[in-house]
Chains A and B, each alone.
Chain A
């Protein structure tokens, strides 16, 4: 009888779906998944010369396969090269396209436009910077773009983070970093490979068959194809006086609260000075004085930090700017830190201009409270069934990973953040109300963390206990740690879905 009904149902559905085409394809197997494009070669070299100059050389040969790599939806058709003609000379060694039939089309002159980079807009100091926009022409499926250029620099400082992993596969990536052994440059990378040559004066590394970069949420910050090369001058903050800012500094004091006064100064600079995100390498690590930044109302984040310290000094605070490279010098994989440190009544405070994620800090949420019975009637009021939703704790630390974004087929590594979230709620149910179905989830994911959720009723008291603990930030590789990944997905689903449940109403 049931089978009969199901057949009727399917027939009804198929009739209604009359216009649906039969020409559907199953999802492609992994081997038939074609990349949009493939770099045949990327060759990159950084060279610091003995004469106080340096060179950056770059070559790419990329073959385009799919329309997406060619049309405006993708970014393969244009190359942008940022440089500073004040001390850098750009030379395009060659630029052409080899079409599918082998015809070589040299990129026309009109396709090279030397324009102001948007990062340098609206600030006279940066107006000399240039971005060479190259529009690659004659693109078609199976065509290959070849671009080779050199930047010769009358400067020696570099601040390079090189990620060999691109949004399409790379057949061969050659990286060469070379500097005189007399200088203290830093080279670092996560995944040493046989054949790498590392010494006191540089590194030579070749990687082949690099897979395309992932494009999934919750990825770890670095891939195993990331290299670092830093050689930067030391920074020392020197106080300057800005006569033009005197009145403003005075006006920012609202009362006698010195901490608030210092905060007001810092916040004023953050909010009211235009920011140009120009890489320091392009400025040869030259920073503006506070006065220059104030009078032009524009600058880099570091320029703003210096202005901030100057204004704090003018207000009477002992203030200085952190060397932004300190953290980098300690450990290559840590981000730059832009902070101003000042003292109020001898106590040191820090104003972070750009927050950095610090993995070492354990996020903790602890709530224990009584909740009012505020359930949502499913129909009318009174309703036979009500929905009860546990409110999110009032904390910015709550765990927000969305299980709907964790697919069963994920291949990308998953970065799991630390958390210790403990919630305990008591709800007094009205006389005619009862929990429909108690909840009791307990799950432990080996090497990751654990979760426990229970919703129970005793008499007219409903108790909700929710505990989620992930002791350490970790990365799950869904391919080698398939079981952990699937358990983690389930755990997250249960954690989220158990935030709502149903209550029934008796007629008694």
Chain B
């Protein structure tokens, strides 16, 4: 008895020591994190029809008070039209070893409600269990069950029919094996009929994978241990593009997905015109002069007149494009409905047009699973070529396909099927910003001149954002842009293109200005910054928001769009001057100075030039940023360009 007691004492001391050691290890290993996922286990059972049952089991350890605060409730999102979800069990393992049941079949409460929403009002719902107060080192364990899919279904029969996926008999899933919190172990297991030929692929990492068979089923098991969050970098690509993920699908190829998408909308009649739409198309195209003109008129009409606000069509919502009657009467819808309206109008005008699926700002991998979050459309020209149109992303944009979506995957819904394709890089010169300044410096330090900015493509839209306010604010907004150069600036006159007809010509804004005491004269010296050296209309130059002090990047990054900035400054000096700074040390008083960095995807070039005979100084610069999505290896070029562009704000020093 005494020996047993001693043994128990030793054992408890050992276990206690081990636990304390483990706690210390946890504290050190996960320092700075708020919660630790001990395990996250998902089991999926797919039926012949495609209906799937998903059981999830997680246990989360609170590492600090923030973790406790963040876990005061657990929620599950679902669409009641296509999925059923339930909490099975929620319990708290207190740090002192006691276990409290928050919810099970006999205890607790589940809140079920329409989730807070803006812009998309489809009645997406949420179930919630209130966990309440937690202390650091408490652990939260919960099990949930889901039946169904993330989309609604057209036809409904027996109870479970609405949970069968729209592409009947098929299944797909995208499983992130990454997390914003550390995860000790994550497993994903799926049981499918062997005849379904499930294909899967692991991206950006490795998973431990096992396969086994049970009768006519194959069970795939994927797991990963010790998942640590990556260090976030500004403007980096989506986590799904960078970190480990698993994609599974039973769809055989993209062609079948494309044909399904075509069929489901044609069957519903999404693109059948109605007399009111046909009449509207006729009215709109009265002045159209060419095929491209007609496409442009219809795209801009849909972009500007079908506002982005989603109301539910009931069964079928989520992947079925609203029909013409609903779109034209409601004058609102989400991306797919805007795309549907445009396809209908183009077809009413005699064009061949189809809806498309795409994934905004995330890569679509080469496996035919539903990796889509956005819908657009295509039109076929007489020469047989397809043109992409996006009525959701081009209100107030002169483009018909937003170049902010370049280097992005898309799948056309065609009767004969289509392959996954990628949009090309849009040339930087299609998104130019040109700034011209012609000015004269007076001997009292006043500078007086004319400053013009003009832009195209995505840069046009960015410059034009100054008019995306109430009309009564335009004048003041335009002045503030000049006051950012110097608050003492006095504007004599401003003219600009008509923003209400934005599609007709690139935006142009011209200022006539005067800035007293802008130039400093000191003895033989003259000191000032060329007006175009300031970040005038910085709103259109997203690259200036990058921090060039960051010397290295681990991951790829993205800018808004490819871009070219050209500035030209003509400065009439009061007398003959020589250039002191900027200059090459070895070549003092040279008539010109050039600063340049020529990278593959980012380049900068500027020239300061003095023409002493005509008392003229010119300052020209060109910035070229060739892409939207960059590799980490492009960063050095990109940051050098940003650095040099910012250096243009440095004063120029001249001497008599």
Nearest-neighbour CB distance to chain B for A13, whole angstroms, equals 4
Contact between A384 and B116, CB atoms less than 8 A apart: no
Residues in B295-337 with C-beta less than 8 Å from chain A: 304-305, 307-309, 311-314, 329-332
Note all chain B residues with C-beta closer than 8 A to A274: 69, 72
Asked if A122 is at the interface (CB within 8 A of a chain B CB), the reply is yes
Nearest-neighbour CB distance to chain A for B456, whole angstroms, equals 9
Quick one: closest A residue to B582, CB to CB?
A379
Contact between B508 and A21, CB atoms less than 8 A apart: yes
Q: How far is the CA of A388 from the CA of B289 in the complex (A)?
A: 62
Note all chain B residues with C-beta closer than 8 A to A405: 480, 483
Contact between A378 and B495, CB atoms less than 8 A apart: no
The stretch that binds A, out of B172-180, B373-381, B519-527, is: B519-527
Contact between B508 and A131, CB atoms less than 8 A apart: no
Q: How far is the CA of A493 from the CA of B615 in the complex (A)?
A: 31
Contact between A212 and B476, CB atoms less than 8 A apart: no
Note all chain B residues with C-beta closer than 8 A to A27: 474-475, 478, 494-496
Note all chain A residues with C-beta closer than 8 A to B114: 113-116
Q: How far is the CA of A116 from the CA of B66 in the complex (A)?
A: 25
Quick one: closest A residue to B493, CB to CB?
A26
Note all chain B residues with C-beta closer than 8 A to A224: none
Contact between A378 and B653, CB atoms less than 8 A apart: yes
Note all chain B residues with C-beta closer than 8 A to A108: 311, 330
The listed residue (A9, A135, A297, A387) touching B132 by CB distance below 8 A is A297
Q: A24-B510, A113-B123 are in contact. Are A139 and B307 (CB under 8 A)?
A: yes
Contact between B68 and A272, CB atoms less than 8 A apart: yes
Asked if A295 is at the interface (CB within 8 A of a chain B CB), the reply is yes
Contact between A127 and B111, CB atoms less than 8 A apart: yes
The stretch that binds A, out of B407-415, B434-442, B538-546, B550-558, is: B434-442
Q: A137-B331, A403-B487 are in contact. Are A110 and B311 (CB under 8 A)?
A: yes
Nearest-neighbour CB distance to chain B for A296, whole angstroms, equals 5
Asked if B282 is at the interface (CB within 8 A of a chain A CB), the reply is no
Contact between B497 and A25, CB atoms less than 8 A apart: yes
Contact between B472 and A33, CB atoms less than 8 A apart: yes
Asked if A140 is at the interface (CB within 8 A of a chain B CB), the reply is yes
Contact between B130 and A123, CB atoms less than 8 A apart: yes
Q: How far is the CA of A402 from the CA of B487 in the complex (A)?
A: 9
Q: How far is the CA of A9 from the CA of B313 in the complex (A)?
A: 63
Contact between B117 and A297, CB atoms less than 8 A apart: no
Quick one: closest A residue to B620, CB to CB?
A16
Contact between A407 and B119, CB atoms less than 8 A apart: no
Q: A5-B572, A108-B330, A212-B470 are in contact. Are A122 and B436 (CB under 8 A)?
A: no
Nearest-neighbour CB distance to chain B for A67, whole angstroms, equals 5
Note all chain A residues with C-beta closer than 8 A to B29: none
Contact between B309 and A122, CB atoms less than 8 A apart: no
Quick one: closest B residue to A124, CB to CB?
B130
Contact between A404 and B484, CB atoms less than 8 A apart: yes
Quick one: closest B residue to A412, CB to CB?
B476
Note all chain B residues with C-beta closer than 8 A to A216: 476
Asked if B646 is at the interface (CB within 8 A of a chain A CB), the reply is no
For chain A, give the interface size range.
35 or more
Asked if B468 is at the interface (CB within 8 A of a chain A CB), the reply is yes
Contact between A140 and B331, CB atoms less than 8 A apart: yes
The listed residue (A17, A294, A380) touching B585 by CB distance below 8 A is A380
Q: How far is the CA of A128 from the CA of B587 in the complex (A)?
A: 77
Counting chain B CB atoms within 10 Å of each CB, the highest count among A68, A212, A410 belongs to A68
Q: How far is the CA of A77 from the CA of B113 in the complex (A)?
A: 24
Quick one: closest A residue to B124, CB to CB?
A115
Q: A138-B330, A271-B65 are in contact. Are A71 and B308 (CB under 8 A)?
A: yes
Q: How far is the CA of A68 from the CA of B304 in the complex (A)?
A: 9
Note all chain B residues with C-beta closer than 8 A to A36: 470-471
Asked if A160 is at the interface (CB within 8 A of a chain B CB), the reply is no
Asked if B243 is at the interface (CB within 8 A of a chain A CB), the reply is no
Note all chain B residues with C-beta closer than 8 A to A19: 434, 454, 506
Contact between B497 and A67, CB atoms less than 8 A apart: no
Note all chain A residues with C-beta closer than 8 A to B498: 23, 25
Note all chain B residues with C-beta closer than 8 A to A115: 113-117, 121, 123
Asked if A121 is at the interface (CB within 8 A of a chain B CB), the reply is yes
Contact between B111 and A135, CB atoms less than 8 A apart: no
Q: How far is the CA of A305 from the CA of B611 in the complex (A)?
A: 71
Contact between B307 and A77, CB atoms less than 8 A apart: yes
Counting chain B CB atoms within 10 Å of each CB, the highest count among A27, A138, A140 belongs to A27
Note all chain A residues with C-beta closer than 8 A to B484: 404
Contact between A127 and B128, CB atoms less than 8 A apart: yes
The listed residue (A113, A273, A402, A406) touching B117 by CB distance below 8 A is A113
Asked if B651 is at the interface (CB within 8 A of a chain A CB), the reply is yes
Asked if B286 is at the interface (CB within 8 A of a chain A CB), the reply is no
Q: How far is the CA of A378 from the CA of B109 in the complex (A)?
A: 69
Q: How far is the CA of A127 from the CA of B116 in the complex (A)?
A: 11
Contact between A404 and B69, CB atoms less than 8 A apart: no
Note all chain A residues with C-beta closer than 8 A to B209: none
Q: A110-B311, A212-B470 are in contact. Are A25 and B495 (CB under 8 A)?
A: yes
Residues in B112-139 with C-beta less than 8 Å from chain A: 113-117, 119, 121, 123, 126, 128, 130, 132-135
Q: How far is the CA of A296 from the CA of B102 in the complex (A)?
A: 12
Q: How far is the CA of A114 from the CA of B115 in the complex (A)?
A: 9
Residues in B222-249 with C-beta less than 8 Å from chain A: none
Q: How far is the CA of A140 from the CA of B580 in the complex (A)?
A: 60
Q: How far is the CA of A297 from the CA of B570 in the complex (A)?
A: 64
Asked if A413 is at the interface (CB within 8 A of a chain B CB), the reply is no
Counting chain A CB atoms within 10 Å of each CB, the highest count among B450, B484, B572 belongs to B572
Contact between A385 and B527, CB atoms less than 8 A apart: yes
Note all chain B residues with C-beta closer than 8 A to A402: 487
Nearest-neighbour CB distance to chain B for A416, whole angstroms, equals 16
Asked if B383 is at the interface (CB within 8 A of a chain A CB), the reply is no
Note all chain A residues with C-beta closer than 8 A to B113: 115-116, 127
Note all chain B residues with C-beta closer than 8 A to A492: 487
Note all chain A residues with C-beta closer than 8 A to B475: 27, 407, 409
Q: How far is the CA of A73 from the CA of B464 in the complex (A)?
A: 14
Q: How far is the CA of A166 from the CA of B417 in the complex (A)?
A: 52
Residues in B492-518 with C-beta less than 8 Å from chain A: 493-498, 500, 505-506, 508, 510, 517
Asked if A104 is at the interface (CB within 8 A of a chain B CB), the reply is no
Contact between B527 and A502, CB atoms less than 8 A apart: yes
Quick one: closest A residue to B509, CB to CB?
A24
Mask of B156-199 contacts with A, CB within 8 angstroms, 1/0: 00000000000000000000000000000000000000000000
Contact between A384 and B653, CB atoms less than 8 A apart: yes
Asked if A360 is at the interface (CB within 8 A of a chain B CB), the reply is no
The listed residue (B66, B311, B582) touching A111 by CB distance below 8 A is B311
Note all chain A residues with C-beta closer than 8 A to B144: none
Contact between A410 and B133, CB atoms less than 8 A apart: no
The listed residue (B117, B332, B505) touching A77 by CB distance below 8 A is B332
Counting chain B CB atoms within 10 Å of each CB, the highest count among A137, A273, A404 belongs to A404
Note all chain A residues with C-beta closer than 8 A to B500: 67
Note all chain A residues with C-beta closer than 8 A to B416: none
Contact between B476 and A410, CB atoms less than 8 A apart: yes
Quick one: closest B residue to A298, CB to CB?
B72
Residues in B241-280 with C-beta less than 8 Å from chain A: none
Asked if A35 is at the interface (CB within 8 A of a chain B CB), the reply is yes
Q: How far is the CA of A315 from the CA of B496 in the complex (A)?
A: 67
A-B contact pairs, 20 of them (CB 8 A): A5-B616, A9-B570, A12-B570, A24-B496, A33-B472, A115-B121, A118-B116, A135-B121, A135-B309, A138-B329, A138-B331, A140-B305, A215-B469, A295-B132, A379-B581, A379-B583, A404-B480, A405-B480, A407-B479, A437-B520
Beyond the given A113-B117, A387-B651, please list 7 additional residue pairs across the A-B interface where CB-CB is below 8 A. Answer: A9-B438, A12-B570, A19-B506, A33-B471, A72-B307, A115-B114, A295-B133
4 A-B pairs with least C-beta separation:
A379-B581, A297-B72, A403-B487, A13-B438
Q: What is B's interface to A at a CB cutoff of 8 Å? A: 65-66, 68-69, 72-73, 75, 109, 111, 113-117, 119, 121, 123, 126, 128, 130, 132-135, 304-305, 307-309, 311-314, 329-332, 395, 434, 436, 438, 440, 450, 452, 454, 468-476, 478-480, 483-484, 487-488, 490-491, 493-498, 500, 505-506, 508, 510, 517, 520, 522-523, 525, 527, 568, 570, 572, 580-583, 585, 614-616, 651, 653, 655
